[in-house]
């Protein structure tokens, strides 16, 4: 069976770090992940995914992220149930994080904090990657079509000559 989840999104709040009775660190957070398509008004919805990360990774995650941080996570979906204080059965679905990646620099995160949660880039847009700064063209370029990077070879008139020996496949 395969149970793998890969998500890129922003934290909706600071991660919450706790310690179990046996001294194991565990952090919980919610990741806002943009939906791929816009509605009739041109607005994009988002899904809010509950996530859990354990042990030293949880401590590191809490030390290097905060509300609004752009992160990538890799993990698995897990479901559980419990009875609340009113005797009602509660169903929980969450992502158990195995690995994470920070997808913005400390400088970008601090600039976003100073600008009300948005990072200006070289295009004057907020939050979207710059198309003229190669460092800004990371995993965060999964934005809408208007923010996608332009083809770097468009209009150059040069043809690219690649032999089969140069290809990795």
Q: Scanning the structure block, which residue is given the tokens 């907020």? A: 126
What range defines the domain where residue 125 resides? 105-148
Closest CA to 140 of 102, 86, 93, 89: 102
Phi, psi dihedral angles at 122 (to 5 degrees) = -65, -20
Give the pLDDT of residue 37.
87
CATH code for the domain in which residue 35 is found: 2.40.50.140
Q: How confident is the model at residue 162 (pLDDT cuts 50, 70, 90)?
A: low
Q: Do 90 and 115 fall within a single domain? A: no
Q: Is residue 117 part of a domain?
A: yes
Q: Do 99 and 109 fall within a single domain? A: no
Q: What is the pLDDT of residues 11-54, one digit of tens each?
A: 999 999 999 999 999 999 999 999 988 888 888 889 999 999 99
Q: Is residue 154 part of a domain?
A: no
Q: Do 4 and 77 fall within a single domain? A: yes
Q: Is residue 24 part of a domain?
A: yes
Average pLDDT, the chain: 79
Q: Do 38 and 5 fall within a single domain? A: yes
Q: Do 18 and 72 fall within a single domain? A: yes
Q: Scanning the structure block, which residue is given the tokens 């979207």? A: 128
Give the pLDDT of residue 108.
79
Tally of domains in the chain: 2
Q: What is the pLDDT of residues 106-157, one digit of tens each?
A: 787 777 666 655 544 444 444 444 334 444 444 444 444 555 566 666 666 6
Q: Do 8 and 79 fall within a single domain? A: yes
Is this structure's pTM higher than 0.85?
no
Q: Do 79 and 92 fall within a single domain? A: yes
Q: What is the pLDDT of residues 49-82, one digit of tens each?
A: 999 999 999 999 999 999 989 999 999 999 999 9
Q: Do 83 and 119 fall within a single domain? A: no
Q: Do 69 and 139 fall within a single domain? A: no
Give the pLDDT of residue 26.
94
Q: How confident is the model at residue 159 (pLDDT cuts 50, 70, 90)?
A: low
CB 131 within 8 A of CB 110: no
CA distances 116 to 34, 67, 68, 89, 113, Å, are 19, 11, 10, 39, 6
Q: Is residue 161 part of a domain?
A: no
CA trace torsion 37, 39, 43, 46 (10° rounding): -60
Q: Do 23 and 95 fall within a single domain? A: yes
Give the pLDDT of residue 161.
64
Give the pLDDT of residue 40.
85
CA distances 163 to 31, 141, 159, Å, are 43, 29, 13
Q: Do 46 and 109 fall within a single domain? A: no
H or E stretch covering 108: helix 106-114
DSSP three-state, residue 140:
helix
């Amino acid at each position: 069976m395969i149970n793998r989840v890969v998500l890129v999104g922003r934290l909706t709040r600071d991660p919450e770090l706790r310690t179990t009775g046996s001294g194991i660190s565990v952090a919980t957070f919610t990741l806002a992940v943009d939906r791929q398509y816009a509605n009739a008004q041109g607005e994009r919805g988002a899904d809010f995914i509950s996530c859990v990360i354990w042990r030293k990774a949880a401590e590191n995650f809490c030390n290097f992220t905060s509300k609004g941080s752009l992160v990538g996570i890799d993990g698995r979906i897990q479901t559980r149930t419990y009875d609340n204080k009113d005797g009602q059965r509660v169903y929980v679905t969450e992502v158990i994080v195995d690995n994470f990646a920070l997808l913005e620099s400390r400088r970008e995160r601090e600039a976003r904090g100073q600008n009300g949660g948005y990072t200006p880039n070289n295009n004057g847009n907020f939050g979207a990657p710059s198309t003229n700064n190669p460092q800004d063209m990371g995993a965060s370029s999964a934005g809408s079509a208007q923010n996608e990077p332009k083809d770097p070879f468009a209009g150059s008139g040069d043809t690219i000559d690649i032999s089969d020996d140069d290809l990795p496949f």
